[in-house]
Structure 1
């Protein structure tokens, strides 16, 4: 379902010391590492592992392509094995980074000619944060679905007119309801391409809604979090 745009950057393995853990909510944080010579395309992801641990997890890159640090957005999974370990890292602890991986990213052929609508649930906003920060002046509309307003991670990063927060369990967002409820009511111009990132139910429901509005698979790029 994804559209091939930019070629994958050459894979690499890097060891970095944690420079910051920035808390956004009680359970969500940004892990910041020195970027060094790490090159990636906005929308790609990396695999992280902790020195001495046998497991790894994949996270979309949160930072800009030319940002000072390499950052990922992490939500601590209750009862999980890996994310709590990341949360309890200290500045100076070592993290192993594999990647970057994936071809999820802006459609280069439509970058300047189309409106780019980013549809995210929860931490699925990470690759869109990277895209917006990497391409100033991009014509975009970011639609972010969360449960509560506090989960609007660093919403000041986005142009207020280009950001819509959908909250399903409080009425503090721009729209009260799920992302899919918003999409059913929204109208989009023909010259629009869509990028979806989040849980599989949201992705598949959104694709069906967009299809009913006349947008086909050539207009939609997806990154599914299971």
Structure 2
């Protein structure tokens, strides 16, 4: 009897009530849940599912390690099954969370000796938002590649002098063109530690560019979204 009660309590800890859905653009939104009941390191991800739904998806944690809420950044996939269902969640709806997972994290050995260059495409900005918010005073630089400037998700959350936006379909960013085009032109201090998160094409191209600039694989940390 005692064992069964403990098991039931453990299962229940995986369920969270949705506190808010924060709409950022027509397709992107942030799901806000109560404070996490587990310890995680900024950069890690969770598996998220809707109560009584057989499917789940993995999302990088968007919120800081000690934040009052657990948050994930989601982009609705047109014609998809799961992300549209997430977007239509309401306050009080139940979701199931498992994790944290992954080893994508700030390089602790270079924490204070290097500039941390966060290179993201689209919602790949999520783990970097968590890293920045979890590490006040961090020497960082964000390079964010999107199609249009309205996809600069909550850019006001970053130091204006440390966030650089590349827009490929309008001229409202800091650089008009693909993120990789900017990387070819950019200069980086030799004491730079790079973190790449986003689609695989961007990541493979960015790794080649950084290699050509003299940085080796030990200088680059990678999280591939798709």
Give the TM bin, normalised by the shorter chain: over 0.9
Cα distance in 2 for residues equivalent to 1:108 and 1:77: 35
Runs of 4+ off more than 3 Å: none
- 1:28 equivalent to 2:28? Answer yes
Q: TM-score, normalising length from structure 2?
A: 0.94
- Mark the runs of 5 or more structure 2 residues left unpaired by the alignment: 1-11
Q: What's the Cα RMSD here? A: 1.0
- Please name the residue that 2:84 is paired with: 84
Aligned residues between the structures = 215
Cα distance in 1 for residues equivalent to 2:37 and 2:84: 28
- 1:129 equivalent to 2:99? Answer no
Higher relative contact order (CA 8 A, sep 6+): 1
- Please name the residue that 2:6 is paired with: none
Q: TM-score, normalising length from structure 1?
A: 0.94
- 1:65 equivalent to 2:61? Answer no
Q: Which moved more, 1:34-43 or 1:82-91?
A: 34-43
- Mark the runs of 5 or more structure 1 residues left unpaired by the alignment: 1-11
- Please name the residue that 2:154 is paired with: 154
User: How far off its partner does 1:53 sit?
Assistant: 0.5
Cα distance in 2 for residues equivalent to 1:221 and 1:31: 26
Higher CA-based Rg: 2
- Please name the residue that 1:6 is paired with: none
1:149·1:172 contact (CA, 8 Å) conserved in 2? yes
Cα distance in 2 for residues equivalent to 1:159 and 1:124: 18
